[in-house]
Chain A
Amino acid sequence: MKTKEAIFGCIQQLLVEVFELEKESIALESNIYKDLDFDSLDAVELAVRLGAETGISLQEEDLRAIRTIGDAVDILHQRINL
């Protein structure tokens, strides 16, 4: 999973399975709190699931920096390709 598209696909799949969101409602610019109705615990849950899928452990400061799906993709892409 080295490309941003692959990472986005993974996040999208998780959001559909775990949070029952509509695939069409998930975009890079979607704000996880305002558009996807996340709270801080949902963000932690997503981080844990992404950790299991990608092997990348997102810390508290990473979660604080993530506002949009695009932010999450960027951070994961950076870590995976280090």
Chain B
Amino acid sequence: MFGKLNLARQWRVVATGLCFLTFLCAGLVLTVTVLPLILLLSATPEQKERRVLTLIHYGFKFFMRYMQMLNPIGSFHVQGLDQLSSVKGSLFIANHPTLIDVVAIISCLPTCQCIVKKSLLQNVFFGGLLRTAGYIANDYAMQLMDDCARRLQAGRSLLIFPEGTRSPVDGLHPFSRGAAQIAIRTGAPVVPVVITCEPLTLGKGDPWYAVPVRPIDLTLRFLPPLEIPLAVTDKKGIPLQARALTRHIENFFLQELHATRTAGLGPC
């Protein structure tokens, strides 16, 4: 039995490597083949952006199935998405336990742009696709705020990870205030996405080949838009409102993750 387990785990090391390789190669191939066609054949910047967003959405959808087929992912469940009355113009806020969180969430949301680390937009394999799709670097200047407001008003949704980097093993990084700033300045509905991953994998600092003892079960829970409490709206001025809202969102995620852990649905 242990021999069989060991073989299965060894396969998942190979499969994980294959997944990384596929992701990078696919990104490069799409960048040099499909992206130039989209740029050439699109009449407007909006059309160009929408087409690349659609390409990324279906690419990530396929990639999630590919990872399940090769078995690093044992199961991938999405809950609550069909109960959202609208995704357009929403600000999705997620915790960030693994490297594949963006792929998983965007595979569910066709017109969602993501606020990401600047280095991802400069990545040679897929940076061109992300930039053309309108993904945004997470340095929060006023121009970014105006940009976010325009995109949300145009019906795009935005995805942001307030931790700014992958979560530590035992909880959450302190949330940055960018998400709260966008929410307050734009009035966009704030939709929490709670990601659980059992067992944890591909965390910060983990080498790619450190696969867990079994295939992971990844779950995305899309929850109803957050009600912004009086404790936030009563604060005078955006800086204090942003601080209060950030604390509120962070506590919300801590409670949801604690409830998940208590219910035995995942360690994160």
- What is A's interface to B at a CB cutoff of 8 Å? 18-20, 39-42, 44-45, 60
Contacts and interface: CB of A to CB of B under 8 A. Distances in A.
Interface string B225-252: 0000000000001111010000000000
Interface stretch (B10-18, B140-148, B150-158): B140-148
Q: Chain B at the A interface: mostly helix, strand, loop or mixed?
A: helix
Interface residues of B, number: 14
B140 A41 contact: yes
The winner among B145, B176, B237 for most chain A CB atoms within 10 A is B237
5 contacts: A20-B240, A41-B177, A42-B239, A44-B141, A45-B237
A26 to B, nearest CB: 15
B178 interface: yes
B239 A40 contact: no
Contacts of B238: 41, 45
A41 B240 CA distance: 12
Q: Chain A at the B interface: mostly helix, strand, loop or mixed?
A: helix
Contacts of B242: 41
Contact of A39 (B177, B237, B240): B177
A41 B181 contact: yes
A72 B139 CA distance: 21
B181 A18 contact: no
Contacts of A19: 239-240
B173 to A, nearest CB: 14
Contacts of B178: 39, 41
A51 to B, nearest CB: 13
Contacts of B142: 41, 44
Nearest to A20: B240
A41 B145 contact: yes
Q: Across chains A and B, which 3 residue pairs bring their CB atoms closest together, nearest first?
A: A40-B140, A41-B140, A44-B142
A20 B178 CA distance: 19
Nearest to A45: B239
